[in-house]
Structure 1
Amino acid sequence: MTGVVVSLGSWVRRRAEAARGRTADSGMTAIEFVLLTPVLFFMIFATVQFALYFFADHVAQAAAQAGARKARATADEQPGAWRGEARDAVDSYIRQLGPQLVLSPDVQTVQPEQHTVGVEISARIPTVFPGLDLTVHARSVGPVERFVKEGGN
């Protein structure tokens, strides 16, 4: 530990002397720049990838919720047609919010229980790093809305 403190102290001393005009280590700044630039670029690209992933996740979740809303509203009045309408609602949402962000979405309609319907989405997202394969998953399920006339069953 003392070796680290001594080398840190000597490094600070060398940097202070260089700042005062002494050029004992005149190429040190260039070497530091060469070594730190890739780290800086990696951090920038990682931040961009993080933002892409979470925005795509939010788009997929919003599309799943839109599809589930459509499925819940139409499943009681149109027993077989709600699946197509839910998929259309999901596709419309993805086209509006992120057509280049949510790539090749796999949309599945689900009916886990008798009076429950929903939508499940799985999709790839673009990546900044070559060879990285990221996917997002979203699921939204809710009870079927049933409209009953007043005083009726």
Structure 2
Amino acid sequence: MLLAIVQLALWSHATHIAQAAASQGLAVARAQSGTAAAGSASAQQMLDQLARGPLTGAAVATDRTTTTVSIRITGTATSVIPFLSLPVHAEAVGPVERWVPDLAGG
């Protein structure tokens, strides 16, 4: 029972790290001058710093169109119970920042 509690805590921690990395990547990629590559690099850098223990096999996928950006992080939580593999998935989606002229003529 104790191992199950530790495993759940590791999975939860890995999920939070993945979500934080996805949010960081989104913030960089959605900037007006941002790119999908810059968002992926930022997310990967955060994963490299934080996820060495609880998250294994992390992969970053970024999709940036002219209006939206999405960053997906997938991986596996470190296992303390033999033969148990818990997947980790996090996603952050948002609009691309862009300048819109004031049409009200204020």
TM range (shorter): 0.7 to 0.9
- Secondary structure of the 1:53 match is helix
- Cα displacement string for residues 43-99 of structure 1 (whole angstroms, at most 9, x for unaligned residues): 1111110100000000000100111111101xx435xxx121111111111122222
Which one has more relative contact order, counting CA pairs under 8 Å at least 6 apart? 2
TM-score (norm 2): 0.86
TM-score (norm 1): 0.61
The equivalent residue for 2:61 is 108
The equivalent residue for 1:132 is 84
**Cα distance in structure 1, aligned partners of 2:15 and 2:4:** 16
Q: Which has the higher helix share?
A: 1
Deviation above 2 Å: which 4+ runs of structure 1? 147-151
RMSD, aligned CA: 2.0
- Secondary structure of the 1:100 match is coil
1:147 is displaced (CA, Å) by 3.7
**Residue pairs, 1:58-137, within 5 angstroms:** 58-73=16-31, 76-77=32-33, 82-111=35-64, 114-137=66-89
How many residue pairs end up in the alignment? Answer: 103
Q: Which has the higher strand share?
A: 2
Specify every segment of 5 or more residues in structure 1 that has no aligned partner in the other structure, as ranges: 1-42
The alignment-based identity, stated in percent, is 37
Larger Rg: 1 or 2?
A: 1
The equivalent residue for 1:57 is 15
